[in-house]
Structure 1
Amino acid sequence: MPLFVAAKVDYPPQKITLLASKRSRRLELWADSGEGYKYIHTYWIRHASGTAGPKLREGDLQVPEGIYEIEGLNPNSKFHLSMKLNYPNSFDLAMAKKEQRHQPGSNIFIHGKTSSVGCLAMGDQAIEDLFVLVERIGPGNSQVVIAPHDPRLLPLFPVPDHLPEWTAELYQQIQQQFEQFK
């Protein structure tokens, strides 16, 4: 709550957005109480596996990139607490279908502890803060945007020989989301 008081944002807010940068391992919390989004705090991501680029298949150890919602909360997680993302979302499923990939992956979480394979491990204190906040506002009032790096600092450009052709479209969507938060 002190972070919200300092930012002059009601607690709990109406909705939140979490901006995650895989390269810098930072997760920014932005909140809106009906007067527009305001920056609240930056959390360090303790571990995130994979490299730049979207998740393509189950078991590729890759943290996905895209625009997601929190679809569920697990207070009994083996990773202290966890929040399930709606990966694969409709974009991920459409690209998998287009490329005839049948197992794009599943069970992507933001969770506690300090290790993970394909998820964002936040440490226990950070996940407690985020979990309680999402529980109070409702998972449907949250958005999570995951990027390879912060596109407000350096534009997103897919490396042509490394990433699928559609990554340019995905990165444009991610860039537009991040640019709303300055």
Structure 2
Amino acid sequence: MIRAARALIAILAIAVVASCGSGDSSTPNKMKAYSGPPVTQIVVKKGERKLYLISGKSLLKKYDINLGKQPIGDKQYEGDGKTPEGVYFIDRFNPNSRYHLSVGISYPSARDVAEAASMGLRPGGDIFIHGLGPEGRALNRPDWTAGCIAVKDEEIEEIFAMLRPGVPIFIYP
């Protein structure tokens, strides 16, 4: 009898723990799956406010984007509000971003560090492709980030699933 009661308690405990990971059924799961062709490069055209995910020579997806508060020109130093220009790489993923989800860009490069240092300044960092999150949705205006590239929350879910570390990102004026 005691063994049966312990077994029942163990089964109930497992069921309770398993249900904790599923989250509130009213909150959609932001972690998506992707099984299509690999993204081999990202192209950002700041002037067009577009981000393109490319596999080989094929366009997989295109997104409208928001940029830093000062969208024209290359990022030169921390706090300038500009989005960097140049070639970087995807180097990290943050599933707990305050902007829904975020994908890290390898800024600053050695060139960026040297350029900022020549002005006696720091280059900054923490440049991401990210969603809007509550802050971006509340602002509801273009070019509001500190230098990041922002897309809608549903779009960063796709991007987050499609990218892998090391994918190059080409950011053009």
Q: Deviations over 1:63-112 (max 9, x none)?
A: 11111101100000000000111110122123334x24330111111000
Q: Report the equivalent of 1:84.
A: 104
SS in structure 2 at match of 1:91: helix
Which secondary structure does the structure 2 equivalent of 1:96 belong to? helix
Unaligned 5+ segments in structure 2 are 1-34, 137-143
Would you say the 8 A contact 1:49–1:62 is kept in 2?
yes
Where does residue 147 of structure 1 map in the other structure? 172
Contact 1:19/1:29 (8 A) holds in 2: yes
Q: Hey, what does 1:22 align to over in structure 2?
A: 46
Match of 2:160 among 109, 123, 131: 131
1:124 positional shift: 0.7
Separation in 2 of the partners of 1:119 and 1:51?
A: 10
> Given the two structures, how large is their TM-score scaled by the length of structure 2?
0.68
Are 2:131 and 1:112 aligned? yes
Following TM superposition, the consecutive aligned residue runs of length 4 or more in structure 1 with deviations greater than 4 angstroms are none
Aligned amino acid, residue 130 of structure 2: H
Relative to 1, partners in 2 of residues 1:47 and 1:63: Cα closer, same or farther, differing over 3 Å? closer
CA distance in 1, matches of 2:128, 2:121: 21
Per the TM alignment, residue 47 of structure 1 is displaced from its structure 2 partner at its CA by: 4.4
Rg: which structure is higher?
2
Instruction: Supply the RMSD in Å over aligned alpha carbons.
Output: 1.8
Deviation at residue 145 of structure 1 after TM alignment: 1.0
Residues 46 and 67 in structure 2, CA contact (< 8 A), matched pair in contact too = no
Instruction: Output the CA distance in 2 between the equivalents of 1:11 and 1:101.
Output: 46
Quote the residue 1:63 is aligned against: 83
Q: Is the 8 A contact 2:108 2:123 kept in 1?
A: yes
Query: Deviation per CA, 1:1-54, whole angstroms, max 9, x where unpaired?
Result: xxxxxxxxx8242x421111112110111113xxxx322221111444313221
Structure 1 equivalent of residue 6 of structure 2: none
- Please tell me whether the aligned partners of residues 101 and 131 of structure 2 are also in contact (alpha carbons under 8 angstroms): yes
Return the letter of the residue paired with 1:130: I
Aligned length: 129
Q: How far apart are the structure 1 equivalents of 2:92 and 2:101?
A: 11
- Which amino acid counterpart does residue 43 of structure 1 have in structure 2? Y
Cα displacement (A) at 1:118: 0.9
Asked whether the 8 Å contact 1:54–1:62 carries over to 2, the reply is: yes
| Contact 1:22–1:48 (8 Å) recurs in 2 | no
Confirm or deny: 8 A CA contact 2:41 2:53 kept in the other structure.
Answer: yes
* Counterpart amino acid of residue 64 in structure 2: W
Give the C-alpha shift of residue 131 in structure 1: 0.3
